[in-house]
Structure formats: C-alpha cells, structure tokens
Amino acid sequence: MFSRPLVPALCSTIIGILIGHNILTNINLPVFLFPLVILLCLGIIFIIPLKFPLFYLMAVFMLLGINTQINRPVLSGLPKVIHKNEKVVIEGTIYRPPKIRFNMASAPIHTEKIFFSEKVSKVKINLLVKLYGYNGGLKVGERIRFPAKLKEFENFNNPGNFDYRFYMLSQGLSFMAVVSDGRYVVPMGEGDLGLVGKTLEKVRGPLRRFFKERLSHTSNPIYAALILGERQGLTSKLREPFDRSGVGHIMAVSGLHLGLVAWLFFKSLRWLLSLSYRLTLMTEIRKFAAIITTLPVIAYALLTGLQLSTQRASVMVLVFLWSFIIGREKDVWSSLSLAALIILALKGDALFSTSFQLSFVAVAGILWLVPLIIQRIPKFKIGNESFKGSQILHPILTYTLGLIAVTTAAMIITIPLIAYYFHRFSIVAFPANLTVVPIIGLWVIPLGLLSSITLPLSSTLAGFLLSLGEFGLDMAISVVHFWSNIPWSSIWIIRPTLLEILLLYGLLFLSLNFNRSRIYRLFLILILIVFFIDIGYWVYKVRLNNNLRVTILDAGRGNVSLIQFPGKKRMLIASNAFGYGGFNLARMVVAPYLWHEKIRRVDYIFLTDPQVQQTEKLRFMISNFHPREVFSSFSTERMVGRVKIKGSNTEGITITYRGWSFLFYNKKVQIEKESPEGGKEWPKYLIATEEKMLRSSSFHILNIDQTGALTITIDSDGNLKMKGFLKKNLNVVITD
C-alpha cells in the first residue's frame, strides 16, 4: 500500500463521495468550507514532519470526495414555474442531433434566455426539449425559440427501477421542456456553441451528412454511433440483436474503442519508427510512439463530441499512455487509480454511473485475471519454444491468446454488475465478442476514421474507404445476427442485491487465493455461510410466504399491482399498462421490480382491457414469467391460498382475506375491513395513481406519486402493515 499511494488515495476519495452523497446530502455547508479544510490539511502535512503522512493524505482525499458532493444552488424561479405548470418561452441552441421517433423528437439545447410572464432571465443551463408534432428541420448549431412547459425528470419509484432522473442530470440536463406542437418552434438563425463546439461542428456536420448519403439505412446509425458518438438513430429493433448476443457495449464509444485505436496506432507507429536505424539510436521508440499516439486518441475523443463516457475513456487511455512515456508502465494499478481519481475529482457523481463502474471494474478485472488465465494455459504460453521462432504463428498465437484472456476476464468480472443493472445475461457473449470485437475494432473503426480524415482532401477516396468499412460492418452485423438467432442465446435473470455482489466478488477473490493462506480459507467459509443464509432468506420470502402481500407499483399512467398469495402463487393486475404504443411498462417497470424481488414466475395475469392480449409487451411478460392463465374476468369466485377473488374488467376485481377487502378499479385501490354491527370502526384507505382521483372524505387517501410503490401486508391474524418506497416513515400498522 505504501509503495502505491494512489490506490489508498482512490479508496479514500470513494469513501468521501459515499459519505457526502448519503450522509451530508441535506446539510447546507459553505462551498468554500471543504476546500479550506483540504488546504489546511495539506499545509500540516508538508510543513510539520509526520511519521505516517500517508494516512493524512488519505484524510485529505476523503475530504476531496466529500467536497464533490456539496449541494450547488439551483436557478431561482424555475421550481416555482414547474410546480405551477406554467408556460414559458425558451430560447437556446441545439447542440446534438434530435432523436426522432414517429412524429415526436427530442433534442438537448444550451438554454440562453427564459421569458417569464413578467421578466426575462438570462440563464446557462441545458434542457431536453421534447417536441410533439415534429415536421423536421432542427439542426445542430441552430438557435430556436419556443413556448413550453418545464418539467422535472421523474422516476418510476419502485424498488429495482432505473434511476432516470440521476442519469439525465449526469448528462448535464437540468429539466425537460415539453412543446405541444412543432409549429410553435421559431428558428432564430445561427446559435452559440462556443469556440470548441463550433469548431467541432464544422468537422462533425459534413461527416454526418457524408455518412447519411453514402451508407445504408442500417449502417448509418451504427457508424454515426461508432465515429461521431451519436446514438440517436439506434432504434430498439437495431440494438436488440447486439444486446441478445452480448455485444451491445460496442455501440457506445468507451474505453474499448479508444483502447483499440490507441493499441493499433501504437503498434503501427512503433513498427514504422523502428524502420529508421537513426531514430532507433537517437530515441526510445516505445516512448516516442506513445507520445504520438496521444494525438489520434485525443482527435477521436473530440470527433465523438467529448460526451461523458468518452471523456472518462480518454482520461483512462491517456493515463496509461503516459505511464509508458515516464517509464511506469508496469505499475498498472497506480495508473488505473490515477485515471479514476482524475475523473472523480472533476465529477464525483461519476462514481454512481453505470458506465464508470463497468469500465473500471472491467479494466481492473483484466489487469488482475489475465495473467492468472495465461498462467493456467501452459500448453499455449506465449513463450512456447515451438512457436517463438515463427514470425507468422507467434504473433497470431499471441493475439488470439490475449484476446481470449481479456474477453474471459472482462466477462467474469462484470457479470454481477451486468445482472444488477441490465437483468440480462448472454450465453453466447464469449464467442460473440471474440468474433465481433476484432472486426469492429480493427476494421470498421479504423477505416471510418481514415475516411473522416481523407474527406476534406478527396470525397472519392473517403467514399472508397467508407465502403470498405461498411463491408466489414455488414460482416459484423451478420455475425451478430448469427449468434443472436441461436435459441436461448440470451436470458433474463433476477437482480442481485449489493450484498450479493460483494459476496460474489469475495468468493472469486478468495477462491483464486485459496492456497495462499489459512486466513483466506477461513474467510471463504464465512462468505459461503453468509451466501447460503441469503439464499435461505429469499427462498423463505418468495416460496414459503404465509402472508398476503399486495404491492401497488408506481407505473405512471398505467396501473399495476402484484398480489402475492399465502404460499408461492402470484397474480398481476394490469390496467392501461400493456397496450399498443407508449412507454414499455412491461420491460422497463414491471419486470425489473419482479426481478428485484427474485420472482421468476407469475401464475395469473388479470387484464382490465382484453384487447391487449396480442401486444408485444404482454408477450414479453408471458415468455419471461410463464403465467398459467391470462384473463379479464372470473366466471365464478375463486380461492387461491385462502384468498377469495372475484370480478371482471368492467366491475373491477376484489380480493378478500381475513376480513380485509381490496377493490382494484378505475385507477384506484380501495382497502377496507368488514365491521360487524356495533363493532369496531376500521380505517379505510383509498390509494390513487392520479391527482384527480383524490376526492373522498370517508377514506384515508394515499397518492402513489408521493409514496412510491406501496406494499400492504396482511398476516394470518388479520393484522395490516403498510410501507411506502419513498416515504420510509409510512409505517401504518392496524391490529385487532
């Protein structure tokens, strides 16, 4: 640890970010307080001689992590306008191409002015404009003015759901501006992208048009994503085969792309420079090649628009290149820690982003596991004498073995995180990555970059290079379709908890170090015990449940409730959730909650609208949760696990258990208990999913927008407990 101080410094920074994010979130401290404390600690370290300065440096980095989480003020006036749902007029400049779906478009803009009812405010924030009735015409760099309603980004507040609000804020977008009619958008001429943005758009604009003219309908959006970092044209239909085969990550520019570009240029430059005998004597070829390689890496990052994932990847690649230049290439863990420190110092919230976690965990896994994997293949070691003398077989063997080792290491180390964030595992990911990544990284991207470089010189040459690249891309797409069309190539899986992820990584580490020390073996036994206790807990909760549990999900305009009967049977009640068009609630809301609860089967699905039985959303639910029945009415009263069920799609559905009745009807759920004459008066609850439904005097009213997913539990004695996802203090307990 003392020989690599950057590693504990990174750990301290991460601890500081977690403290600031989870503990000091609601504490308003002066912005200058933590920087002042950091400077004071640095002064103590360097002025006063200390016996253990590393621990004081760790304290400084912890304060640095806390400092990244200090709340910054929000533009005054906007929250009031949002809550009143008032219209304002907004003026700003489009800085990325619009994403178009049917007659709706969305595009981010640099907002410059907001016209309120009585004043005009000059602002500098980014908004996401959602435009209905779009008829084309929006261009990057154009200033527009339009009337809109400002809205905050909102999540579906259910356990296990994607944090959409955090994702949009991490992209630098503060609010959403909704425009009801595209005819109200007024072009105002050329906008202000800044010096860097304007210069980049002069390069990216012609390339965007060039790709659109020369490439097919399928190749254009993929090439735009790989070269320009613009993923707006990637539809779900286009992405699905890549996701099924486990190579969806190649569609977003990341460390893989920049790393392959750096590796290709570094190898090529080192070979070219080695041809000069004079240069070989005058300088160290490897360092000189690494210095020159930084230029194409920076150029590629700029060409992709310097989006957040690209910024992180470029920092990582440049740090590793400079480790070659200063002669510290063997200290890979310090290089990785330095790259992470730079990124977290610039933006502490990056720690919570999926791309940051996957990128750094994958690289850490490669650095850790690749040497172990190569050591365990003695017959094919790179130094094997039977191949070492061959100028053809040895490089091929080296590349193949390295690719297999890197792919294996990256897959093993990222499986828990992929399961946590995406609930999906591709069985064919290993062979798919081995066959697709080399084509994309060593053929498609280099030819695309060469085409971009030669376009200002010769459009004919650029078109020829691009056509060669498209040929390789078509080949890669064919390979992707081959792997994705294999039955069961991809499976949806339950979501591990954070504890289970830590246990899995602990099992991996201790298993690989089983023979090193007795303490490792003891910890391995301890982790196995905790792991089996965790499995037992979930088996008891999911399959040996003795209570009735009703969970009303936050599903926006839809209404979805999960009934978990005593025992292991379950029923899903859905209204306006699995119909045609609109947001995919089945895949993005309902399924993630079920996987979070370790539920892989739903026995019954009750639909209030029988016409939705042929939709893709419902087919997704049926194929992944295997219900015994899908129906919209009960011909007779049923009993499931001592619970009575009756109703239809017109009258609603009623379930009764231990005197309590639940009526699911018309975007609301009524909960009440039968009271004998002259007996105790029991409280009654009305749970609504829309504001206009909140009108009742005899019911205690709860709004799903305020509580989040609401779980009501009734035990075998008839006692009721109620718990909200957002309101943790909503501890309603009713007992006899």
Of the two residues 46 and 707, the one the predictor is more confident about is 707
Cα–Cα distances (Å) from 286 to 43, 105, 271, 280, 325, in that order, read 39, 48, 10, 10, 8
Q: Fill in the amino acid letter for 630.
A: V
Residue 221's contacts (CB-CB under 8 Å, 6 or more residues apart) are 231, 232, 233, 234, 235, 238
Q: What sign has the CA pseudo-torsion 132, 133, 139, 142?
A: negative
Q: Fill in the amino acid letter for 204.
A: R
CA neighbor of 69 nearest in space, from 20, 135, 31, 128: 20
Strand order in the sheet with 732-734: 629-631, 604-607, 570-575, 559-564, 548-552, 710-714, 720-724, 732-734
Q: What is the pLDDT of residues 584-633, one digit of tens each?
A: 888 999 999 999 999 999 999 988 776 666 788 888 999 999 999 888 77
Q: What is the mean pLDDT of residues 558-584?
A: 86
Which residue carries 């959602």 as its tokens? 130
pLDDT of residue 37: 63
CA neighbor of 489 nearest in space, from 443, 426, 445, 441: 426
Q: What is the mean pLDDT of residues 3-24?
A: 83
Of the two residues 717 and 384, the one the predictor is more confident about is 717
Q: What is the pLDDT of residues 128-175, one digit of tens each?
A: 999 998 887 888 889 999 999 888 888 898 998 888 888 888 888 888
Does residue 109 register a pLDDT over 80? yes
Helices 393-422 and 354-375, axial angle in degrees (round to 10): 140
Does residue 645 register a pLDDT over 60? yes
Give the Cα separation of 81 and 75 in Å (integer): 11
Q: What is the mean pLDDT of residues 460-466?
A: 92
Does residue 40 register a pLDDT over 70? no
pLDDT of residue 255: 82
CA neighbor of 244 nearest in space, from 472, 486, 407, 415: 486
Does residue 321 register a pLDDT over 50? yes
Q: Which two tokens stand for residue 96?
A: 């990325």
pLDDT of residue 420: 93
Q: What is the mean pLDDT of residues 354-361?
A: 90
Q: What is the mean pLDDT of residues 87-92?
A: 90
Cβ atoms < 10 Å from Cβ of 605: 22
Residue 684 contacts residue 670 (beta carbons within 8 Å): yes
CA neighbor of 228 nearest in space, from 93, 96, 94: 96
Residue 590 contacts residue 555 (beta carbons within 8 Å): yes
Give the Cα separation of 512 and 491 in Å (integer): 28
pLDDT bin (cut points 50, 70, 90) of residue 327 is confident
CA-angle at 334, arms to 358 and 15, nearest 5°: 60
pLDDT of residue 27: 55
Does residue 684 register a pLDDT over 80? no
pLDDT bin (cut points 50, 70, 90) of residue 481 is very high
Give the Cα separation of 62 and 169 in Å (integer): 24
DSSP code of residue 184: G
Give the Cα separation of 295 and 258 in Å (integer): 12
pLDDT of residue 557: 80
Percent of the chain residues past pLDDT 90, beyond the cut:
28
Q: What is the mean pLDDT of residues 387-406?
A: 68
Does residue 180 register a pLDDT over 70? yes
Q: What is the mean pLDDT of residues 292-315?
A: 87
Give the Cα separation of 271 and 541 in Å (integer): 62
Q: What is the mean pLDDT of residues 472-491?
A: 93
Residue 697 contacts residue 684 (beta carbons within 8 Å): no
Task: Tell me which of 207-211, 469-473, 499-503, 693-697 is least confident.
Answer: 693-697
Q: What sign has the CA pseudo-torsion 143, 145, 146, 152?
A: positive
Average pLDDT, the chain: 83
3-state secondary structure 411-465: HHHHHHHHHHHHCEEECCHHHHHHHHHHHHHHHHHHHHHHHHHHCCCCHHHHHHH
Does residue 72 register a pLDDT over 90? no
Does residue 81 register a pLDDT over 70? no
Does residue 1 register a pLDDT over 50? no
Does residue 546 register a pLDDT over 70? yes
Give the Cα separation of 564 and 641 in Å (integer): 10
Question: Looking at the chain, how many residues does it have?
Answer: 736
Q: What is the pLDDT of residues 404-418, one digit of tens each?
A: 888 889 899 999 999
pLDDT of residue 579: 77
Task: Tell me which of 10-24, 286-300, 424-438, 681-695 is least confident.
Answer: 681-695
Task: Supply φ then ψ for residue 390, to 5 degrees.
Answer: -85, 130
Give the Cα separation of 489 and 662 in Å (integer): 41
Q: What is the mean pLDDT of residues 554-569?
A: 88
Give the Cα separation of 213 and 504 in Å (integer): 49
pLDDT bin (cut points 50, 70, 90) of residue 681 is low
Q: Fill in the amino acid letter for 654.
A: T
Q: What is the mean pLDDT of residues 501-525?
A: 89
pLDDT of residue 35: 61
Residue 141 contacts residue 201 (beta carbons within 8 Å): yes
Does residue 311 register a pLDDT over 50? yes
